[in-house]
Structure 1
Amino acid sequence: MIIRKFHDSDVRQIVSLFYETVHSVNKQHYTQNQLDVWAPRDEEMLKQTTWKDSFNLNVTYIAEINGNIVGFADMTQEGHLDRLYIHRDFQRQGIASSLVDNLESEARQKGLIVMDTEASIMARPFFEHHGYQITESQVVERRGVVLENFKMVKNL
């Protein structure tokens, strides 16, 4: 596995991985309606543009195996871990841990002392295992549909 920085040419594969992961891995914790508003197909092309811009502003790492992107994670300059997604066929292989370790290391190099994220029900145990603590359980609304997630923080 190779962990590397984001390239603009990665965005199509990343957006595809995002949609596939949300709709497969998270279906045990969210309804189909919730998954459809979390990752709506009608926004896929828009995400390719907007995400490319945000990945370039953020600190973004890509996990690659045999030339294929199997995961990605990004963090804002202020230490908000925005997105962390691992391909459904590569779950529980240490990829997410490697990506988060890289982001945390970069955050420390930037002099940040805290990182935060908003974790899904599925991701909550992962983040707890990595030292993040829940500060708030929250309900977010997208397109009139309610989803539960958790604000979490970690002192670096």
Structure 2
Amino acid sequence: MDNQNETQVTVTNNEEVKNEEVKQDDTASTGTPDLSKMSEADKRAFFAEELKNSAIENQFGKTETIVVNEGTKYQYHMILAFPGTAIASQIEDDATTDATGNVDFTRLMQGAVDNGVISFPQVKSLDFWNYHKGYSEVAAKVLKFLNDGLAGNLE
């Protein structure tokens, strides 16, 4: 049993050394080795390590505070919360009107309200903006926020 464990460690260490040699010898300026010179097993090991190293912090639930009508007597703050990739993508898909990518802001904002993207204040309907200035400003900021979350750029 101990010999099997030692052998496994030795094989893993040899593969790591082999992968490191490939990286040093065949790495293009992008940092990717010449995949055509790698075995399928080595490719998978390289891809698995690359995938592990490319992970970002979970975007779900990340928040951003926005200021609406900044510097005016109508200024107010809102907190946006990222609803996750699937919901954010669906909100944007539902609000995209045609192949040119035009956005229907009513659909975008209704999707944001329905899915809790505006987490504070708790907006229940688009009628909120019958009593508050800044609907178009908020819509633009919501779209940017969703795009940032989909791109993995929320901190």
Q: Shorter-chain TM-score: which interval? A: under 0.3
Q: If the length of structure 2 is used for normalisation, what is the TM-score?
A: 0.24
- Which protein, 1 or 2, shows the higher relative CO under an 8 Å CA cutoff with sep ≥ 6? 1
Q: If the length of structure 1 is used for normalisation, what is the TM-score?
A: 0.24
Instruction: Compare CA radii of gyration and give the structure with the larger one.
Output: 2
Higher helix share: 2
